[in-house]
């Protein structure tokens, strides 16, 4: 065991310290060593994970295969600790071989960019390391979550208010919505289970996120009881088809109880027609949830909020703050969940009333203890991150970021239409720009299954080459009967028109020989 | 909108930037402003959230009621952003009025202390902000999670290996275990739901964590189908009572399928007898899960691992790394989940196969893409935190920390037995020390319901006073028929014998007039 480790535990031997009589004689030295380590690490983070990671002249990733990376890194955990310099090198390596999601050429996921306020807030949360079960444990963050929820409910248009919770992920938020809908349908299920229930059916569109199916499996409904509603060629749910599926379920003796509409689908960025869907749900008395994880950000934009027209009518909304609303949002695990229905539904649906945590004889108003609304026990105070960003930049800057991202997406779509060898899959409605790159060898072939089959192999190879070169990262996928195409997502305010031009040029450079 | 904000978006007006022709002319200045802000904030974090927050001479909390705190903080979100100095003040305030969980006098929860390596790792994760769905997005962290899982499986004694996942919380990990057990019982439920199932019954002890009931409600079983098995006066599940409850369920025509044993109960710190429970589960072919969220840390200690004797026989283990194993562990949301049963059960039970994320035509071995094992979509690479701590200090230091914490808990229990006015609720087996403080006015009263009723009111008042004074934080609760008592939890290596003496002295100072 080396000096560094000994310093950290008080410059005494294990044998001596195990005797609690000794106390912590080296506490002051420990703290100095810890501080020095933290300071050095903070400098590495600033240089490598902030400055270098957002520099367009640097690589967006430094690809190594699993086998290569295992060789490069000393991952094994041992009996004795490593030196401070070795640990700092581990930190440098972890950053070096990780993907730079804040890089202006990173377009691989539905998050991107670097938001300094959000990053700082996340550091504070990690340093404070509390959990948001009770006001006692998280006074500041409890109030902040409340303010943020109320502000966002106003944006949704829920005049009567509502309730909500930051969850670790949009999938979890969608799952909460399904559970609340079930609770509304029959509160007794919480106690007796769904054994005696008629077959309950959930409805979502073919373009909806897979988390609805995961929720169906987890909550005991089964994936077969998710009825998939066809979407039109823009990727939007067809309301008449929803009506048909509801009738189908009823004719089978099943009970439809939950409809998921999507505001901003994952691949195409399509918005389901909420108003028309809400009419149908009202008629049949179904819970209407909107998965606005991706498209919710448009609510801050006067120009684009029409995409979610009717959202004030729905029962619940899942909204991922790290995605569109922040463009450059830093944190990827928290999402927001609202409902406008019963004031205490979240609490009633999920409470277990643990007496060691939610004592009712506290000296403050225990309605501020929000932990029992959650299916989790520990819960991170993630609201603080988004609150600090919003506080720092203001609503108008958030609006500006949404407007700018969508303007850039339009620009990219125009460029794709202009350039030879590029073809849009669909005219973009949001920030997703889906397109094929057709290498010269395929350009003069007639449209045929043969051509599609060949085209299907292009994107994976271009992706492999961009990763190995480290020049950019863009996602691709097949979709329905469509062969593999690229999905560009324009989010970060740090992305320029030049970056988008680069993407198209680079795809051609990497794929022109295919 | 002030200069600071304008700096951050490139020193141009909204109108100009919305035109994507403009690109990001001020990117360099933006980055400088961002860097300067991050550096100032890092200094605040180091001074306020690290140094001051761990200084025993400072308060552990600065209590304000919700109403006072709302007055003190300007929480409202506005159209325009705030100045840099105002935002830095928001950061200082957030730290100031938050509970200092790294403080040596913080004993309120099952986590405590300050771990510099863990904190630094969490900063790196936040700065890199990736998500662990695919190897492509998290190459380093994917390999690290794998190494960590394998190392911990060795500690459990699963020679044949297994699988696992870091989840956002022990409650989630327990929920995964229930779902896997259901999948093993009948894989078809994933598709068809549990409507056609016989009534499925889960068993846990009266001392088990409430997340088992939450899982039963969420997964569609219903809380009434959690059969509660009595515990003995040490808080341990009584195996013969488990056998009886299983027989009871069967006699009712129900199907018991899942048993939760607890290694380290939340309040008393009791360990269920795993070997005896495993015998019963084997006999009835039931899935045996161990909720070792709290007590799992004992596995690294040669001296204390006997507490979990038999754990190598169980099907799944939930283990919270931030708790005992790290004492001073920094992160409160990730937990570990294992199972030794079927190699691909996690994947098969939870997969949805989203084609936009888990493409099968990638250029690397896609078995490294672990995201579809999870019910989440985005998932934080939390394994890195614990890996870095372990790497830095080594297994022997982890063992030392466990041994030292338990030695200190024994010391505290001895002191309580020696002192007038203090009374142990139960002889501690682990790091929980549960006790009553009996103020002088109650010391000569005969044991009676009347005395217990009065005693019940003591802990809440002492707690209120310690919070308002900010001298320390300790949890209390009623438990079964026992009136409110304190639950001290000794975890952090930064805690000394002197801190424990202080706790007892201070409780007496705060409560002697009651």
State residue A442's pLDDT score.
96
Interface check for B388 against chain A (CB to CB < 8 A): the answer is yes
Domain boundary among A345, A380, A415: A380
A101 shares contact with chain B (CB less than 8 Å) = yes
Estimate to the nearest angstrom the gap between the alpha carbon of B494 and the chain centroid: 19
A36, HSE (Cβ side, Cα atoms, 13 Å): 11
Give kind and range of the element (H or E) at residue A125.
Answer: helix A116-128
Instruction: Tell me, yes or no, whether A284 and A172 share the same domain.
Output: yes
Strand pairing category for A316-319 and B334-339: unpaired
In 10 A of CB B497, how many CB atoms?
Answer: 18
Name the helix (H) or strand (E) containing A486.
strand A482-489
> B481 exposed, middle or buried (CB, 10 Å; 0-12, 13-18, 19+)?
exposed
Same domain, A425 and A495: yes
Burial class (CB within 10 angstroms; exposed 0-12, middle 13-18, buried 19+) of A57: exposed
In A263-400, DSSP assigns E strands to 287-291, 316-319, 334-339
Contact (Cβ atoms closer than 8 angstroms) between residue B259 and residue B174: no
Percent of chain B with pLDDT over 90: 67
- In angstroms, the separation between the Cα of residue B245 and the nearest Cα of chain A is 18
SS (H, E, C) B116-173: HHHHHHHHHHHHHCCCCCCCCCCHHHHHHHHHHHHHHHHHHCCCCCCEEEEEECHHHH
Between CA B513 and CA B502 the distance in angstroms is 18
Q: What are the φ/ψ torsions at residue A107 (nearest 5 degrees)?
A: -135, 25
| Residue A221 lies inside a defined structural domain of this protein | yes
Q: Is there a contact between B80 and A394 if contact means CB atoms under 8 Å apart?
A: yes
Q: Which residues of chain A have pLDDT under 50?
A: 1-18, 20-26, 325-341
Measured between beta carbons, the chain A residues lying within 8 angstroms of B168 are: 168-169, 333, 376, 380
Are A137 and B220 an interchain contact pair (Cβ–Cβ within 8 Å)? no
Closest residue to B359, CB basis, from A216, A400, A477: A477
Q: What is the pLDDT averaged over residues B391-415?
A: 93
Instruction: Scan residues 288-307 of A and list those with Cβ closer than 8 Å to B.
Output: none
Rounded-to-integer distance, Cα A283 and Cα A277, Å: 10
Chain B nearest CA to A223, separation (Å): 5
Strands of B287-291's sheet in order across: B163-168, B334-339, B316-319, B287-291, B255-262, B200-205, B226-229
Note whether B388 contacts A87, CB cutoff 8 Å: yes
Is A307 contained in some domain?
yes
Best A177, A179, A220, A405 residue to mutate vs chain B (most B CBs within 10 Å): A220
Nearest by CB to B46, from A35, A144, A193: name it: A35
Handedness of CA B102, B104, B107, B108 (dihedral sign): negative
The number of folded domains in chain B is 2
The pLDDT value given to residue A23 = 42
Q: CB–CB of A222/A201 below 8 Å? A: no
Q: How far apart are CA A457 and CA B7, in angstroms?
A: 44
The answer to whether B498 touches A23, Cβ cutoff 8 Å, is: yes
Q: Which of A380, A415, A439 is the last residue of a domain?
A: A380
Helix or strand holding residue A258 (H, E): strand A255-262
Q: What is the ipTM of this complex?
A: 0.91
B397:A1 CB<8 A: yes
Q: What's the pLDDT at A7? A: 34
Instruction: Answer yes or no: do B224 and B333 share one domain.
Output: yes
Instruction: Provide the 10 A C-beta neighbour count for residue B356.
Output: 15
Residue A122 counted as domain residue:
no
| Same domain as B286, residue B177 | yes
Report phi then psi at B75, rounded to 5.
-90, -15
Compute the average pLDDT of residues B482-496. Answer: 90
Residue B469: its H or E element:
helix B458-469
Distance of CA A50 to the CA centre of its chain: 21
More confident residue, A185 or B359: A185
The answer to whether A362 contacts chain B (CB < 8 Å) is yes
CB B79 to CB A330 under 8 A? no
Note the pLDDT of residue A70.
Answer: 96
Query: What is the DSSP track for A80-114?
Result: SPPPHHHHHHHHHHHHHTS--TTSTTEESSS--S-
| Alpha-carbon span A158 to A160, nearest angstrom | 5
pLDDT tens readout for residues A41-72 = 999 999 999 999 999 999 999 999 999 999 99
One domain for residues B440 and B506: yes
Contacts of A154 (CB under 8 A, 6+ apart): none
- Residue A283's domain spans which residues? 131-354+363-380
CATH number at residue B93: 3.90.1150.170
Note whether residue A291 is domain-resident. Answer: yes
B434, B489: one domain: yes
Task: Confirm whether B67 is domain-assigned.
Answer: yes
Q: Does A433 touch chain B (CB under 8 A)?
A: no
Q: Inspect the interface and report whether the beta carbons of B377 and A21 lie closer than 8 Å.
A: no
CB B48 within 8 A of CB B97: no
In a 13 Å sphere around the CA of A84, the CA atoms on its Cβ side amount to 16
| pLDDT, tens digit (0-9, with 9 covering 90-100), for B431-484 | 999 999 999 999 999 989 999 999 999 999 999 999 999 999 999 999 999 999
The verdict on a CB contact (< 8 Å) between A117 and B45 is no
User: What separation in angstroms does the CA of A93 have from each of A44, A72, A217, B132, B386?
Assistant: 11, 9, 39, 17, 16
Interface with chain B: mutation pick from A378, A405, A410, A478, highest number of B CBs within 10 Å: A378
Q: Is residue A63 part of a domain?
A: yes
* Closest CA of chain B from A321, distance in Å: 13
> Considering chain A, what is the average pLDDT of its residues?
87
The chain B residue lying nearest A464, using CA atoms, is: B363
Q: Which long-range contacts (CB under 8 A, 24 or more apart) does B400-404 make?
A: B400/A9, B400/A14, B400/A17, B400/A18, B401/B326, B401/B327, B401/B328, B401/B493, B402/B297, B402/B298, B402/B300, B402/B301, B402/B304, B402/B324, B402/B325, B402/B327, B403/A18, B403/B301, B403/B303, B403/B304, B404/A17, B404/A18, B404/A20, B404/B493
Let me know whether A488 and A369 are in one domain: no
Cβ contacts (< 8 Å) between A224 and chain B: which residues?
A: 191-193
Residue B15: pLDDT over 80: no
Grouping H, G, I as helix, E, B as strand and the rest as coil, residue B69 is helix
Kindly state whether B478 is in contact with chain A, defined as any CB-CB distance less than 8 angstroms: yes
- H-helix or E-strand spanning residue A229: strand A226-229
| Pair (A176, A79) in one structural domain | no
Residues 213-272 of B with CB under 8 A from A: 213-214, 216-225, 266-267
With CB atoms and an 8 Å threshold, state whether A352 touches B1.
Answer: no
Quick check: is B385 in a domain? no
pLDDT tens for each residue of B69-106:
999 999 999 999 999 999 999 999 999 999 999 999 99
Question: Which sign, positive or negative, has the C-alpha torsion A41, A47, A53, A58?
Answer: negative
Nearest neighbour of B126 by CB, restricted to A19, A330, A464 = A330
Whether the CB of B37 is below 8 Å from some CB of chain A: the reply is yes
DSSP notation for B259-279: EEEEBS-TTT--B--HHHHHH
Same domain, B203 and B229: yes
- Percent residues over pLDDT 90 in chain A: 67
Q: Which residues of A touch B189 (CB under 8 A)?
A: 220, 222
**pLDDT for res A196:** 87
Instruction: Indicate whether A111 and A152 sit together in one domain.
Output: no
Provide the pLDDT for residue A10.
Answer: 37
Beta bridge partners of B487: B434, B475
Quick one: residue B85, left, alpha or beta (phi over 0 = left, psi -120 to 50 = alpha)? alpha
Band of residue B28 on the pLDDT scale cut at 50, 70, 90: low
> What is the model's pLDDT at position A364?
87
Edge-first strand order for the sheet with B106-107 is: B106-107, B473-479, B482-489, B432-437, B422-424
Interchain contact A481–B (C-beta under 8 A): no
Q: B502 vs B358, which has greater pLDDT?
A: B502
For the domain that residue A272 is a member of, what is the CATH number? 3.40.640.10
Judge whether A10 lies within some domain: no
- Above 60 in pLDDT, residue B262? yes
User: Would you call B494 and A24 a contact, using CB atoms and an 8 Å cutoff?
Assistant: yes
| pLDDT for the residue numbered A216 | 96
**DSSP states of A422-460 as a string?**
EEESS--SSSEEEEEE--HHHHTSPSSHHHHHHHHTHHH
Please report the pLDDT score of residue A161 as a whole number.
Answer: 75
**Backbone angles phi and psi of A162, in degrees to 5:** 170, -155
| Residue pLDDT, tens place only, B288-343 | 999 998 999 899 999 999 999 999 999 999 888 766 554 333 333 333 444 444 55
Domain match, B402 and B376 both: no
| pLDDT on residue A324 | 55
How many beta-carbon pairs under 8 angstroms link A with B? 558
Measured between beta carbons, the chain A residues lying within 8 angstroms of B9 are 397, 400-401, 493
CB of A199 closer than 8 Å to CB of A254? yes
Measure the CA–CA gap between A53 and A439, rounded to whole angstroms.
31
Interface-testing mutation among A377, A398, A487, with chain B (most B C-beta atoms within 10 A): A377
B155 and B60 share a domain?
A: no
């Amino acid at each position: 065991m080396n000096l560094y480790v000994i310093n950290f535990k008080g410059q005494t031997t294990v044998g001596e310290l195990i005797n609690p009589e000794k106390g912590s004689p080296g506490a002051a030295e420990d703290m100095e060593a810890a501080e020095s380590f933290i300071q050095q690490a903070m400098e590495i983070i600033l240089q490598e994970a902030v400055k270098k990671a957002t520099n367009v002249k640097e690589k967006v990733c430094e690809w190594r295969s699993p086998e290569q990376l295992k060789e490069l890194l000393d991952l094994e955990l041992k009996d004795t600790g490593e030196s401070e310099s070795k640990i700092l090198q581990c930190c440098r390596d972890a950053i070096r071989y990780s993907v730079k999601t804040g890089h202006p050429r990173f377009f691989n996921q539905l998050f991107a960019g670097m938001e300094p306020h959000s990053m700082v807030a996340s550091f504070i949360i990690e340093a404070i390391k509390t959990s948001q079960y009770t006001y006692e444990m998280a006074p500041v963050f409890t109030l902040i979550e409340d303010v943020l929820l109320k502000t966002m409910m106003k944006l949704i248009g829920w005049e009567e208010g509502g309730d909500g919770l930051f969850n670790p992920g949009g999938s979890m938020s969608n799952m909460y919505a399904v559970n609340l809908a079930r609770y509304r349908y029959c509160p007794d299920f919480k106690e007796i289970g769904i054994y005696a229930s008629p077959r309950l059916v959930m409805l979502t569109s073919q373009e909806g996120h897979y988390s609805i199916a995961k929720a169906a499996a987890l909550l005991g409904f089964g994936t077969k009881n998710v009825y998939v509603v066809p979407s039109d060629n823009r990727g939007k749910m067809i309301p008449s088809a929803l009506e048909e599926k509801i009738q189908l379920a009823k004719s089978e003796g099943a009970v439809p109880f939950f409809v998921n509409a999507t505001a901003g689908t994952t691949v195409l960025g399509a918005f389901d027609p909420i108003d028309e869907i809400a009419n149908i749900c009202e008629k049949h008395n179904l819970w209407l949830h909107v998965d606005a994880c991706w498209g919710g950000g448009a609510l801050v934009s006067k120009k684009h909020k029409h995409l979610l027209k009717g959202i004030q009518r729905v029962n619940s909304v899942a909204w991922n703050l790290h995605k569109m609303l922040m463009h450059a949002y830093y944190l990827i695990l928290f999402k927001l969940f609202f409902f406008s229905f019963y004031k205490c539904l979240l609490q009633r649906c999920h409470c277990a009333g643990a007496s060691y945590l939610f004592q009712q004889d506290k000296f403050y108003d225990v309605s501020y203890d929000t932990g029992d609304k959650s299916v989790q026990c520990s819960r991170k105070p993630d609201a603080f991150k988004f609150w600090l960003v919003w506080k720092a930049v203001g609503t108008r800057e958030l609006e500006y970021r949404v407007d700018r991202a969508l303007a850039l997406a339009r620009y990219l779509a125009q460029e794709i239409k202009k350039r030879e060898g590029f073809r849009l899959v669909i005219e973009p409605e949001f920030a997703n720009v889906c397109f094929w790159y057709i290498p010269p060898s395929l350009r003069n072939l007639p449209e045929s299954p043969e051509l599609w089959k060949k085209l299907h192999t292009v994107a994976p190879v271009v992706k492999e080459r961009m990763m190995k070169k480290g020049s950019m990262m863009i996602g691709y996928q097949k979709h329905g009967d469509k062969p593999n195409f690229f999905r560009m997502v324009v989010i970060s305010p740090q992305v320029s028109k030049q970056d988008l031009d680069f993407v198209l040029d680079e795809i051609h450079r990497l794929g022109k020989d295919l």
